[in-house]
Amino acid sequence: MADTTLMDKLVSLCKRRGFVFQSSEVYGGLGSVWDYGPLGVELKKNLKERWWRAMVHARDDIEGLDAAILMHPRVWEASGHVAGFTDPLVDCRTCKARFRADQVATASCPQKPSKAPGAHSACDLTEPRLFNLMFKTFMGPVEESAAVVYLRPETAQGIYVNYLNVLNSSRQRVPFGIAQIGKAFRNEITPGNFIFRTREFEQMEMQFFVRPGTDEEWFERWRGLRMGWHHEIGLTPSKLRWHEHGPGELAHYAKAAFDIEYEFPFGWQEIEGIHNRTDFDLSRHQEYSGKKLEYFDQAANERYLPYIVETSAGADRVALTVLADAYREEQVDGELRVVLGLHPALAPIKAAVLPLVKKDGMPEVALALYHDLRRHLPMFYDDSGAIGRRYRRMDEAGTPFCFTVDGQTLEDRTITVRHRDAMTQERLGLDQAATWLLERVAAG
Amino acid sequence: MADTTLMDKLVSLCKRRGFVFQSSEVYGGLGSVWDYGPLGVELKKNLKERWWRAMVHARDDIEGLDAAILMHPRVWEASGHVAGFTDPLVDCRTCKARFRADQVATASCPQKPSKAPGAHSACDLTEPRLFNLMFKTFMGPVEESAAVVYLRPETAQGIYVNYLNVLNSSRQRVPFGIAQIGKAFRNEITPGNFIFRTREFEQMEMQFFVRPGTDEEWFERWRGLRMGWHHEIGLTPSKLRWHEHGPGELAHYAKAAFDIEYEFPFGWQEIEGIHNRTDFDLSRHQEYSGKKLEYFDQAANERYLPYIVETSAGADRVALTVLADAYREEQVDGELRVVLGLHPALAPIKAAVLPLVKKDGMPEVALALYHDLRRHLPMFYDDSGAIGRRYRRMDEAGTPFCFTVDGQTLEDRTITVRHRDAMTQERLGLDQAATWLLERVAAG
């Protein structure tokens, strides 16, 4: 199966089963903006909840935060985004197309796709010009006089400017971290690959504040923890790898940076970055705000600006990774079976309850079981169509288990459990179903 | 206690205990934008989770959705926001102050606060001019040529334009609903009252699609359900009331509208609206998109545009309501006790574990209990300071229970449970603590 075909199939399944829809589709869509449907919103919630539990609830040394998207414009001067968060762009005066300057050599000329922009005789390219990637808006009602504010291009700065507030209101001491999940916006020139690179996206970020000199040790520790997390959510280990930023790649604020990359159908791409940001951010905010941002270490009786180790993952990217990793097609009895092999903890629906036929009292037993289980976990009830078709529907939705109420159920109060991945079946006592299912979902 | 004092105290407690910080505070703050701190983010998460469970997981007839903030600009033409989401404003040419036209008579002149704008001899007011309250931004890198897009001023439209996608990918039939939690933005002229009216805010909305003619019945049913929800999260019933929109107040799209109002320190204010929007929204989107948005009812063999009953609550407003309702001051043994009487299901920390003294093996037992309980629920461990002060800290954080490990614990393996509200104490077996606590948190 060709790689583009795989992405097309995934996009199509996502729409058909209600994972992801194109934004404003009835109006022809809005470029590279996507909406999460009924199953997608649950998948993404499960993913974020799992990250939050690992990063905040399961640890004593990390606090949560939810900073606003709108921030004081000086924040982005201090961070370097106003001056430096730019891409050099080249326009073609003839065809009005626009390209990233570093991609002119490899892009296609829209008028003559066999050539690169500039290589065709009618091309008339401008010199590269810098464009800021931050979305700009105006606070206050009148555009001319209102304050220009930006939609944050990353969530990290909301953590830095709050770090003393968090320290003062919690009982944390360095080393400690602040975690946040929230939206950010970048006016990308070339978004694409479904929900991989979008202009509006959600980040799961943690900033860990450490004593200078201990930063390299913490950096290594966080690399290990974060790669471990991606294994735990069920991603195929051989499709994950490290990419170390070489000297030419390192951001101006970083002393070291490693990306966790996943092998998508469109190639190896970053899904999370771990960065040693040194004291760059706090020293800049100290300089621009004129406020002392030093930490006072009582035990050592010393003052310093903490170094920061950052772990930054895209929630939408990880959702896409989970979907792409879970998607598979199999030939079963001469028919195509499409399966989303989602980890039970991430699956939007944990189990379906299906009466084998719509008579003989089976629907009544099945509905009672469904209502009982739904008090604990998201469930699905389906009584329409052949049982095989109902299994296939749940395979596509990533539902790990189906509980079927059949003739034997009415005799001995057992149900058939059908496993999504192996398609094996076993019998289970009706009154054990809740415990059985809760154990398997929690085991993740 | 004067009402403004109460709000000041609440704002101060929220900063001190890490519920809410002012955005970009080190830069002097950004007007009416707020960040949620470690306890605030948990409170708001609990609130949203409770809403989601009641509206989506506990029901068969509602699906979740998470539409993007950025939408196609035609959406806002169809919805009426481009033409009509405006406030008439008046400027003073002398002092450059700006007022909402309907508030000129009651506002103060900044130059002469004893008079209203226009009443002072130096005032030079413009005629009222209309200003749109939507935040505008530009998609694509170059401002001049880029598409103007808006930050959504409400989440509802994301549901309307997706309603057929949800119908086609789920097994729902009318009557059914779509629920969504997400951010929206309004360039308010007069934001204020802490997190009550902010320019960036989060909504919890549900749009219920019904057969025309059944809308009034569903409207009444949803009124009852939503008021019941506010009672269930523990709000004082006597501080909740209905406000019916009279003919002069009704929005252009509404056939009937009721607000749930809460009695804040600054007066009765809306925290949720229930609206009968008729088929206004779907008929407008059908007209502007040119796509048929009718529902086909197979059983009745008829086609129609469903009517919509909307329930729309502000997550930040409800969070403020919960905080204001929970805040109280008491005189205890001649000292002031400040308590946040939060419902256990909403409290950011469910229980604290406290060794009575920092010796005799008590910290070891307490830490073991803390780590055991933290696998299930958010807990807090505190061993510093007098036990009375530690209780007070937890009172301010809204923690419903404290588990104290004392001398008797070492003898008979029981702990002291101290109740936040009544300040009563009882003893509980160490090995029963998890079950005891889980029951009380779930009972909400």
The Cα–Cα gap between A290 and B21 comes to 19
Question: Which residues of chain A make contact with B98, given a CB cutoff of 8 A?
Answer: 141-142
Question: Which residues of chain A make contact with B187, given a CB cutoff of 8 A?
Answer: 138-141
Of residues B15, B143, B189, nearest to A141 (C-beta): B189
Task: Give the residue from B25, B33, B70, B376 with the most A CB atoms within 10 Å of its CB, the best one to mutate.
Answer: B70
The sheet with strand B414-419 has its strands ordered as B379-381, B351-355, B401-405, B414-419, B425-429
Tell me if residue A223 falls in helix, strand or coil: helix
A141/B133 CB distance under 8 A? yes
Task: Give the residue from B15, B33, B34, B35 with the most A CB atoms within 10 Å of its CB, the best one to mutate.
Answer: B35
Tell me if residue B199 falls in helix, strand or coil: coil
For helices A3-16 and A315-326, give the axis angle rounded to 10 degrees.
100
Q: Which residue of A lies nearest to B67 if distances are taken between CA atoms?
A: A35
CA A325 to chain centre: 14
Burial class (CB in 10 A: 0-12, 13-18, 19+), A58: exposed
Cis peptide before B363 (omega within 30 of 0): no
B166/A38 CB distance under 8 A? yes
Taking only the tens place, the pLDDT of each residue in B302-312 is 999 999 999 99
A161/B25 CB distance under 8 A? yes
B72/A24 CB distance under 8 A? yes
B36/A67 CB distance under 8 A? yes
A24/B74 CB distance under 8 A? yes
Q: Looking at residue A242, what is its pLDDT?
A: 98
Of residues B37, B199, B293, nearest to A165 (C-beta): B37
- On the question of pLDDT at A320 being above 80, the answer is yes
Helix intervals (H) in B149-279: 156-160, 163-169, 215-232
Please report, for residues A4, A6, A8, A332, B418, the alpha-carbon distance to residue A194 in angstroms, rounded to integers and kept in the order given: 11, 12, 9, 29, 53
Whether B40 contacts B18, CB under 8 Å: yes
Q: Looking at residue B146, what is its pLDDT?
A: 62
Q: Looking at residue A128, what is its pLDDT?
A: 87
B38/A75 CB distance under 8 A? no
The Cα–Cα gap between B204 and B181 comes to 4
Chain B (68-97) residues lying within 8 Å, Cβ to Cβ, of chain A: 68-72, 74-75, 87, 89
Nearest to A350 by CA among A358, A338, A342: A342
Tokens of A69: 């998207």
Chain B (176-205) residues lying within 8 Å, Cβ to Cβ, of chain A: 183, 185, 187, 189, 199-200
The residue written with tokens 């598409």 in the block is B147
On whether any CB of chain B is under 8 Å from the CB of A138, the answer is yes
Q: Looking at residue A145, what is its pLDDT?
A: 56
On whether any CB of chain B is under 8 Å from the CB of A292, the answer is no
Q: Looking at residue A214, what is its pLDDT?
A: 97
Whether B271 contacts B315, CB under 8 Å: no
Cβ count near B436 (within 10 Å): 15
Tally C-beta pairs within 8 A across A and B: 225
Q: Looking at residue A104, what is its pLDDT?
A: 86
Of residues B71, B141, B291, nearest to A187 (C-beta): B141
Question: Which residues of chain B make contact with A36, given a CB cutoff of 8 A?
Answer: 65-67
Whether B15 contacts B34, CB under 8 Å: no
Taking only the tens place, the pLDDT of each residue in A405-442 is 999 999 999 999 999 999 999 999 999 999 999 999 98
Question: Which residues of chain A make contact with B57, given a CB cutoff of 8 A?
Answer: 374, 378
Could you list the beta-strand ranges (E) of B226-287: 240-244, 256-264, 267-278
Minimum distance, in Å, between the CA of residue B5 and any CA atom of chain A: 22
A162/B37 CB distance under 8 A? yes
B37/A75 CB distance under 8 A? no
Q: Looking at residue B145, what is its pLDDT?
A: 56
Q: Looking at residue B85, what is its pLDDT?
A: 85
Give me the DSSP letters along A55-110: IIIT-SSEEEEB--SB--HHHHHHTTHHHH-EEEEEEBTTT--EEEGGGTTTSPPS
On whether any CB of chain B is under 8 Å from the CB of A144, the answer is no
Question: Which residues of chain B make contact with A200, given a CB cutoff of 8 A?
Answer: 68-70
On whether any CB of chain B is under 8 Å from the CB of A21, the answer is yes
Question: Which residues of chain A make contact with B67, given a CB cutoff of 8 A?
Answer: 23, 35-36
Q: Looking at residue A216, what is its pLDDT?
A: 97
On whether any CB of chain B is under 8 Å from the CB of A325, the answer is no
Tell me the backbone φ, ψ of residue A196, rounded to 5 degrees: -75, -55
Task: Give the residue from B138, B169, B316 with the most A CB atoms within 10 Å of its CB, the best one to mutate.
Answer: B169
The Cα–Cα gap between A284 and A274 comes to 20
Task: Give the residue from B19, B59, B66 with the most A CB atoms within 10 Å of its CB, the best one to mutate.
Answer: B66
- On the question of pLDDT at A3 being above 70, the answer is no
Q: Looking at residue A141, what is its pLDDT?
A: 61
User: What is the overall mean pLDDT for chain A?
Assistant: 93
Of residues B131, B149, B382, nearest to A142 (C-beta): B131
- Ranges under pLDDT 70 in chain B: 1-3, 141-146, 444
B70/A33 CB distance under 8 A? yes
Q: How confident is the model at residue A204 (pLDDT cuts 50, 70, 90)?
A: very high
Q: Looking at residue B92, what is its pLDDT?
A: 86
Whether B314 contacts B153, CB under 8 Å: no
Q: For the whole prediction, is pTM greater than 0.90?
A: yes
| β-pairing verdict for A62-65 and A176-185 | parallel
On whether any CB of chain B is under 8 Å from the CB of A54, the answer is no
For helices B315-326 and B38-52, give the axis angle rounded to 10 degrees.
110
Q: Looking at residue B88, what is its pLDDT?
A: 85
Whole-complex ipTM: 0.94
A74/B44 CB distance under 8 A? no
Q: Looking at residue A143, what is its pLDDT?
A: 60
Give me the DSSP letters along A356-378: SSS-TTHHHHHHHHHHHHHTTS-
A34/B68 CB distance under 8 A? yes
Question: Which residues of chain A make contact with B39, given a CB cutoff of 8 A?
Answer: 169
Q: Looking at residue A132, what is its pLDDT?
A: 86
